[in-house]
Amino acid sequence: MVDSDNTIAGAVAIVTGGGTGIGRAVCLALAARGASAVVVSYSRSTQEAEAVVAELLAAGCRARAVRADVRDESAVAQLVASTISDFGGIDILVNNAGATRMIAFGDLDAITDDDWDLVLGVNIRGAFTVTRAAAAALRRSEGSVVNVASIAGYRATGSSIPYGVSKAGTIQLTRGLAVALAPEVRVNSVSPGSVTSRWMGDLIGEDVAAERREKESALIPLGSVATPEDVAEAIIALIDARFVTGQDIIVDGGKHLLY
């Protein structure tokens, strides 16, 4: 149960995609703020999720890795049920799991039904499915949800048209859920620009991704692309902000101000 002075001390959290990148940084930030338990949810990255669990335990936070593809309702139901039975409830949900495919904007014929199904299925329907499954527990704890959207939800940039559509959808999902789950539960989102996670490297190769990030840094008012820890800090700020709901914070070092 959350104490009255610190929204995170003593809290039980689920972080989807918690084994890597932004998700890992969120798990560690929650532990640093005194969360009592963090469930590191993943779909493929077993070793990475187990490594984060080891880091959390070393930090004095109870932790467990649970495999759950966010598109799979029964796996998600299990994720929620096991969190409640192991740790007594759910105070914080971070819907961070995300998927994309690299498809040039001009090449409409290259976009397949499978691309739409994957990207909308994970990024929108997945976040909805986990939130709905956790909603009763979140209401009981008067908890908080943070979704991870993207600057691609505002601008016609990013890895593909389906990805941008999905992240615009994530921002709107945040607003709808904020109304649906009020007054007990707050729902907000963050929209990162480029981040130094494996994300772009997985799409275009790490060398090319690193080169792009370096060039992009020169165009960013704050002088660099975000680290996963920068994004986690904004997520923590939204968990802390007790009268804020349905809002999205852009975490791009001010880049969007210039175009």
Ligand X SMILES: NC(=O)c1ccc[n+]([C@@H]2O[C@H](COP(=O)([O-])OP(=O)(O)OC[C@H]3O[C@@H](n4cnc5c(N)ncnc54)[C@H](OP(=O)(O)O)[C@@H]3O)[C@@H](O)[C@H]2O)c1
Active site positions, annotated: 163
Q: How far apart are CA 4 and CA 123, in angstroms?
A: 32
Q: Does 195 bind ligand X (CB under 6 A)?
A: yes
Pick between residue 17 and residue 169 the one whose CB is nearest to ligand X.
17
Q: Does 253 bind ligand X (CB under 6 A)?
A: no
Return phi, psi of residue 42, to 5°. -150, 165
Residues from 130 through 149 that contact ligand X (CB under 6 A): 148
Helix and strand counts by DSSP (H, E) for the chain = 9, 7
Q: Does 69 bind ligand X (CB under 6 A)?
A: yes
DSSP-assigned beta bridge partners for residue 64:
39
Stretch near ligand X under the rule CB under 6 A, chosen from 77-85, 95-103, 131-139, 242-250: 95-103
Q: Which residues of 39-71 are buried (b: 16+ CB within 10 A; e: fewer)?
A: bbbbbebeebbebbbeebeebebbbbbbebbbb
x/- site string to ligand X, residues 33 to 62, per CB under 6 A?
---------xxxx-----------------
Q: Does 129 bind ligand X (CB under 6 A)?
A: no
Residues from 14 through 33 that contact ligand X (CB under 6 A): 16-17, 19-23
Q: Helix or strand or coil: residue 137?
A: helix
# binding residues, ligand X (CB under 6 A): 29
The structure tokens listed for 145 are 């949800």
Query: Which DSSP helix (H) or strand (E) runs through 190?
Result: strand 186-192
Shortest CB 192 distance to ligand X, Å:
4
Could you list the residues that contact ligand X (CB under 6 A)?
16-17, 19-23, 42-45, 69-71, 96-99, 122, 148, 150, 192, 194-195, 197-200, 228
